[in-house]
C-alpha cells in the first residue's frame, strides 16, 4: 500500500524526490518487466529494458502532465523494446548468456500465481498454457504483439494503448482485431489447455 496517492508521488518525483519515484517503481516494475519480457522474449533483455525504462522515466518525469501514468510508463518501455529490437536486427548476435523466456524460469510473471489455491496438477496445466500463449504471441508481427500485450495482458484501454505505441486509435483497434484472430488460430493447436468456453470448434460439422 502506497503512503501517498499516485498523483502526490508523481508531483514529489517531479521535484526530484527519489523516495517518491521509488514508490512508483515498486508499483509498476512488474508490469513494465512483463511488457518487456513479452515483447523481447528474453529474460536478460527484459531486465535491461526495464532498467532503461525507469532511468528514462526518472529523467523525463517532469514532462508528464496528467492522464494515465501507466500508459506513459508503458510508452517508455515499449520504445525501449523497439530500440533493442532494431539494434538486434542491425547487429545480430548469438550470446551464450542469452536466456529465452520460459515460464518455468520466471514464475513471478505468471498470472496463474495470483491464486494460491491451485493444485499441483493445475499448476502444471497453467504453466503449459502460459508457454502456449507466449509461443503464439511470439508468432505475431511486432506491431501486433505490442497491442496484444498492452491491451489484453496489461489491461490498457484502446486510447492508452494508442498513446503508448504512438498510433491512431483506429490502427490500434484494427491491429488488435487481427492479432486476436491470429492468436485464436495459433491457440487452437493447444485447445485442450484452454478453459472450455475459450475453445473454438474449427472443425464444425466434421467433428
Question: Could you report the per-residue pLDDT of 117-141, keeping only the tens digit for each?
Answer: 666 766 676 777 778 888 899 999 9
Torsion sign (Cα): 109, 133, 194, 170? positive
Residue 1 lies in a domain: no
Residue 191 lies in a domain: yes
pLDDT given for residue 38 in this prediction: 92
Beta-ladder partners of 42: 100
Residue 18 lies in a domain: yes
Domain total in the chain:
1
Of 31-40, 50-59, 95-104, least confident by mean pLDDT is: 95-104
CATH value at residue 16: 1.10.1740.10
Question: Could you report the per-residue pLDDT of 71-102, keeping only the tens digit for each?
Answer: 999 999 999 999 999 987 765 544 434 445 45
Is residue 131 within 8 A of residue 109, CB to CB? The reply is no
Residue identified by cell 500485450 is 149
Q: What is the 3-state secondary structure (H, E, C) of 110-172?
A: CHHHHCCCCCHHHHHHHHHHHHHHHHHHHCCCHHHHHHHHHHHHCCCCHHHHHHHHCCCHHHH
- Residues, the chain, total? 207
Torsion sign (Cα): 187, 192, 193, 194? positive
Beta-ladder partners of 100: 42
Please check the confidence at residue 194 and state whether its pLDDT lies above 90: no
| Structure-block grid coordinates of residue 144 | 501486433
Is residue 142 within 8 A of residue 197, CB to CB? The reply is no
Dihedrals phi, psi of 92, to nearest 5 degrees: -65, 135
Cα–Cα distances (Å) from 205 to 7, 193, 201, in that order, read: 56, 22, 9
The three-state secondary structure class of 3 is coil
Is residue 7 within 8 A of residue 64, CB to CB? The reply is no
- Structural domain harbouring 48: 6-206
Stated pTM of the model: 0.75
First to last CA, the chain: 52
Amino acid at each position: 500500500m502506497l503512503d501517498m496517492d499516485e498523483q502526490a508521488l508523481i508531483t514529489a518525483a517531479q521535484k526530484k524526490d527519489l523516495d517518491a519515484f521509488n514508490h512508483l517503481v515498486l508499483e509498476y516494475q512488474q508490469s513494465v518487466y512483463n511488457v518487456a519480457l513479452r515483447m523481447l522474449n528474453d529474460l536478460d533483455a527484459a531486465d535491461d529494458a526495464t532498467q532503461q525504462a525507469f532511468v528514462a522515466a526518472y529523467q523525463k518525469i517532469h514532462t508528464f502532465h496528467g492522464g494515465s501514468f501507466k500508459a506513459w510508463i508503458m510508452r517508455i518501455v515499449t520504445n525501449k523494446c523497439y530500440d533493442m529490437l532494431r539494434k538486434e536486427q542491425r547487429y545480430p548476435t548469438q550470446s551464450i548468456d542469452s536466456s529465452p523466456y520460459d515460464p518455468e524460469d520466471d514464475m513471478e510473471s505468471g498470472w496463474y500465481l495470483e491464486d494460491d489455491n491451485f493444485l499441483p496438477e493445475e499448476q502444471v496445466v497453467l504453466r503449459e498454457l502460459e508457454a502456449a500463449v507466449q509461443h503464439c504471441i511470439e508468432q505475431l508481427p511486432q506491431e501486433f504483439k505490442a497491442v496484444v500485450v498492452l491491451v489484453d495482458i496489461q489491461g490498457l484501454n484502446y486510447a492508452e494503448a494508442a498513446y503508448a505505441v504512438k498510433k491512431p486509435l483506429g490502427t490500434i483497434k484494427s491491429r488488435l482485431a487481427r492479432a486476436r484472430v491470429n492468436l485464436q488460430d495459433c491457440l487452437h493447436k493447444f485447445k485442450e489447455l484452454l478453459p472450455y468456453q475459450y475453445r473454438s470448434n474449427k472443425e464444425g460439422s466434421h467433428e
